[in-house]
């Protein structure tokens, strides 16, 4: 097929920066414009400085060019407002990286874009809601168990995320002087990503009536997410490992291991690594991803590849920074 033309709305933030980096090196896509009201006329590399020497593209104020796909990289609540007020020329496909269309009651025709669950739906979708970063990491740790009906009772989850998960806007808890040598709990049992995880669980187990109890932590590092989920199960350690290995046997980016993973195994890649084990009748599942890639922009490009019939890995063969 011909080269995919891409527009980016809200091009100055962290997710847009990662998206731009990926698309500049994508063999089948080209950025037609990156829109940013506050940076219109400025070089993209003046904001995303890792792209100095890689592109002479400038931010635009407009989005009046017809393209094949538009990525919405605006803040939560802003994507819905944008689409309700603006009309994108040419009816492009849309991939939204905000929270606005992830839940079914608010989806307005958007397909929930978790490829390991909804790849067939994404293939024929015109609009895709990219999952949240914590939601992606947690769901990849739970999908095989719920699919095999191996979860008994409530699921307890803890997870820690890097500071980039809070976005580029400054707040007290995103300053270096606060984050450095520091960790804290936030939104205990009330994190917004729980709702989309529950919808996925119900998709796999319609009679689910237990609780997902999630405690998130702010980490003193820039990027990456590690989550631990535990629940009662009747499966043995070998049976649980086989269950996960079979479920992800054909997955492009999600890999099952019998070794305890760490963040450096996935940071700067679109990979997810999942480590399931059973300890005295309790399943303990550790999942790790890069919050800006598999948890955001990398997964968005993965969804674009699926929507346009490309190999899922195009533009996403990235090497982790392991040392």
Confidence bin at 270 (pLDDT 50/70/90): very high
Q: How many CA atoms lie within 13 A of 313 on its CB side?
A: 10
Mean predicted lDDT score pLDDT of the chain:
95
pLDDT in tens, 187-237: 999 999 999 999 999 999 999 999 999 999 999 999 999 999 999 999 999
pLDDT in tens, 236-259: 999 999 999 999 999 999 999 999
- Report helix, strand or coil for 185: strand
Residue 14's contacts (CB-CB under 8 Å, 6 or more residues apart) are 164, 167, 168, 292, 296
Question: Beta partners for 95?
Answer: 71, 128
Domains, the chain, with CATH or none:
4-130+294-307 (3.40.50.720), 133-292 (3.30.360.10)
**Cβ-based neighbour number of residue 87 at 10 Å:** 7
What are the residue ranges of helices labelled H in the chain? 14-24, 44-47, 78-85, 115-123, 133-147, 176-179, 193-204, 237-247, 298-307
Taking each helix axis as running N to C, give the angle between helix 237-247 and helix 133-147, from 0 to 180 degrees, rounded to the nearest 10. 120
Which of 87-101, 161-175, 275-289 has the weakest average pLDDT? 161-175
Which of 76-85, 175-184, 207-216, 294-303 has the weakest average pLDDT? 175-184
Res. 170: pLDDT tops 90: no
Res. 175: pLDDT tops 90: no
> Residues 104-116: what's their mean pLDDT?
96
pLDDT (0 to 100) of residue 176? 82
Confidence bin at 128 (pLDDT 50/70/90): very high
Confidence bin at 167 (pLDDT 50/70/90): low
Catalytic residue set: 133
């Amino acid at each position: 097929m011909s080269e995919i033309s891409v527009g980016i709305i809200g091009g100055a933030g962290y997710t847009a920066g990662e998206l731009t980096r990926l698309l500049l090196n994508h063999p089948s896509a080209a950025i037609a414009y990156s829109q940013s009201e506050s940076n219109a006329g400025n070089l993209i590399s003046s904001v995303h400085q890792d792209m100095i020497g890689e592109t002479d593209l400038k931010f635009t104020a407009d989005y009046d060019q017809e393209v094949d796909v538009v990525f919405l990289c605006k803040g939560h609540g802003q994507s819905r407002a944008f689409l309700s007020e603006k009309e994108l020329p040419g009816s492009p496909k849309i991939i939204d990286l905000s929270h606005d269309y992830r839940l079914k009651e608010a989806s307005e025709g958007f397909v929930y874009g978790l490829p390991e669950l909804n790849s067939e739906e994404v293939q024929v979708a015109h609009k895709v809601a990219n999952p949240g970063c914590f939601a992606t990491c947690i769901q990849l740790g739970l999908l095989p168990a719920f699919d095999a009906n191996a979860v008994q009772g409530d699921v307890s989850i803890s997870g820690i995320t890097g500071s980039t998960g809070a976005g580029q806007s400054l707040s007290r808890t995103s300053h270096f002087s606060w984050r450095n040598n520091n960790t804290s709990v936030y939104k205990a049992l009330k994190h917004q990503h729980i709702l989309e995880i529950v919808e996925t669980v119900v998709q796999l187990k319609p009679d689910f009536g237990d609780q997902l109890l999630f405690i998130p932590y702010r980490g003193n590092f820039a990027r990456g997410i590690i989550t631990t989920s535990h629940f009662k199960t009747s499966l043995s350690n070998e049976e649980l490992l086989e269950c996960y290995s079979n479920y992800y046997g054909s997955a492009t980016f999600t890999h099952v291991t019998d070794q305890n993973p760490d963040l450096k195994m996935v940071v700067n890649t679109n990979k997810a690594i999942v480590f399931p084990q059973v300890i005295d009748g309790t399943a303990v599942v550790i999942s790790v991803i890069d919050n800006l890639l598999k948890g955001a922009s990398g997964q968005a490009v993965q969804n674009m590849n699926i929507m346009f019939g490309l190999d899922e890995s195009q533009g996403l063969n990235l090497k982790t920074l392991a040392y």
